[in-house]
Structure 1
Amino acid sequence: MTATVDGRRHARRPGPRRRNVLKSVSLHTIAIVLGAVVVVPLLFGVIGGFKDTAQLSSNPFGIPSPWVPENYTEIIFSGSFWRMVWNSMFVALATTAITVGLSAMAAFVFARFAFRGRELWFVLFTIGLMFPFAVAILPLFVLLRYMGLLDNPLGVILPQAAFGLPVTIIILRGFFRTIPREVEEAATIDGCSSFGFFWRILLPMARPALATVSVLAIVASWNNFFLPLVIFNDPNWWTVPLGVQQFYGQYSSDTARVLAYVVLAMVPALAFYAVAERQLIGGLTAGATKG
């Protein structure tokens, strides 16, 4: 009787293959749900931009009938839109260059040199992750006004670079520590200085990590709204997020046109992220083995 009961209990337990199937189905379901959460709003915005406001009210999820491509073409052929795109690109690239350059040198020191207080200084950098722009915006505004950097791209570039240093240093330090000491010792024997090893050997080997932090810095700068809103009063320096706000205020009753503007504002960042996705994932995982 006991053997029979034990046999039944053993038969009721799912086998390894069944557990793997259930796990795979669960993971695929979660991935599909998360994908739908991201893709459905994008599709709604893209398709909604080809409608007029009356169609959005009567048939928000249907196919446009008729199609209204003027919502997109009028924005594409607008000089102000491309000026804002250029401003965003300039600010993002300048911010990325400063952030990655300074962070690479700091991460190299934290990863490859042993000195008293190294971990304390590293902790001070990581504490910067706890302070967003909103916390420091008032003293930052006063400081930038005193320095004469209002309505100046440096008033946005320098603070963005400063706030981007902590996470960039953390990622690059983790990657730099994975480079074997033997490589550095061999370079030193060949007469390479510390800076020469950093410039000629370490940075080329760290291209995946550098690509990762560059993507993060560019996307963060492109999406930054609060700081340019405070710093830029001159419309000639407005970035794309400010343009979205201005466009919404001007055409708040024309929802379809606003959707078209938002979609076009997202295209450059999405395109850049799609191209750099492999480097982003590879760089994040490359430095994950050592901290």
Structure 2
Amino acid sequence: MLVAVYPVFLMIMSSLKTNAEILSNPLALPGSLSLAPYRKLWEAVPITDFLVNSMLVSAGSVVLILLVSSMAAFYIARFSFRWNGLLYFFFLLGLMIPIKLGIVPLFLLMKELGLLNSLWSLIMVYTASGIPISVFILTGFFRTLPVELEEAARIDGCNNFQVFWRVLLPLIRPALGTVMIINFIQAWNDFFFPLIFIQEESLKTIPVGMLSLFGEYEADWSMLFAGLTLSALPMIVVFLLASKQFMEGLTAGAVK
């Protein structure tokens, strides 16, 4: 726990120091707590825009991933048809082939669609890259649910969508929490695609925006640590809100 928590603690403490304190004694506690690095950060870069952009991209892609992958997983897990196995394997191919290998075709596609310098390009890419692992996780959870639940719901007059939405979906909340955290963190921390698709300063996300804090010859480390602290807070909040579902998702099926 100490190994995991200490770097986070050091980051927060360093964001409350002056640059001179960090350079003279980087591992020491601050002599006096100062919010000056945060004020300098707000004046130096549009940190609010970076946070809002990252939140919009991460939340938008997670919502689309949960919607699409849950319906696809329900169909694959609960309906038997000729191409069931092939369709499932098609989704699993997304786990085997790195999406970054297709960066040139993706760039040309976004250019043809007019989505360069648009947050929609990032949302679409993160949604496409997050669906395979999400379908893989959710299909396994759907297959563990008793078929008798669906039969009882259909006897009561539910159609397929009502069975999915009202009966099965609430039962796989642990899996949904797991999928949400995995994809939110992936989208929030990604540096590669925003660097390729976004050039306007006002549309940059947190990882790319933090790059502007590094100077050619030196960096203001106190301001950089303040930016890193602010960028880490939303992920911590998301994990705290969904940690119960995440833990249940990890341990589901461990005990019969």
Q: Which residue of 1 aligns with 2:107?
A: 141
Q: Deviations 1:74-109 (Å, cap 9, x if unpaired)? A: 335778111111111111111011111110110001
1:235 paired residue number: 201
- Structure 1 residue 132: Cα displacement: 2.9
Point out the structure with max Rg over C-alpha. 1
User: Which has the higher mean CA deviation after the structures are superposed, 170-179 or 256-265?
Assistant: 256-265
Q: 2:255 & 2:68 partners in 1: Cα distance?
A: 23
Contact 1:209-1:283 within 8 A present in 2 as well: yes
Tell me which residue corresponds to 2:131: 165
Unaligned runs of 5+ in 2: none
What residue in structure 2 maps to residue 212 of structure 1? 178
- Number of the residue aligned with 2:57: 91
> Matched residues, percent identical?
38
Q: Classify 1:218/1:93 alpha carbon distance in 2 versus 1 (closer, same or farther; 3 Å).
A: same
Contact 2:58 2:187 in 1 (8 A): yes
Instruction: Please state if 1:116 is matched with 2:82.
Output: yes
* 1:129 Cα deviation after fit: 1.1
RMSD: 2.1
Count of matched residue positions in the alignment of Structure 1 and Structure 2: 256
Counterpart amino acid of residue 189 in structure 2: N
Distance 2:131 2:246 in 1: 17
Provide the TM-score with structure 1 as the length reference: 0.81
Contact 1:171 1:284 in 2 (8 A): no
2:72 is aligned to 106
What pairs up with 1:275-290 in 2 under 5 angstroms?
Answer: 275-286=241-252
Cα drift, residue 119 of structure 1: 1.6
Residue 26 of structure 1: aligned partner: none
Paired with 2:97 and 2:210, the residues of 1 have a C-alpha distance of 26
Equivalent-residue separation in structure 2 for 1:288 and 1:152 (angstroms): 43
Q: TM-score, normalised by structure 2?
A: 0.92
The amino acid of 2:244's aligned partner reads: R
Aligned with 1:60: secondary structure? coil
Looking at structure 1, the residues matched to 159 and 13 of structure 2 have their Cα atoms a distance apart, in angstroms, of: 58
Structure 1: gaps of 5 or more residues: 1-34
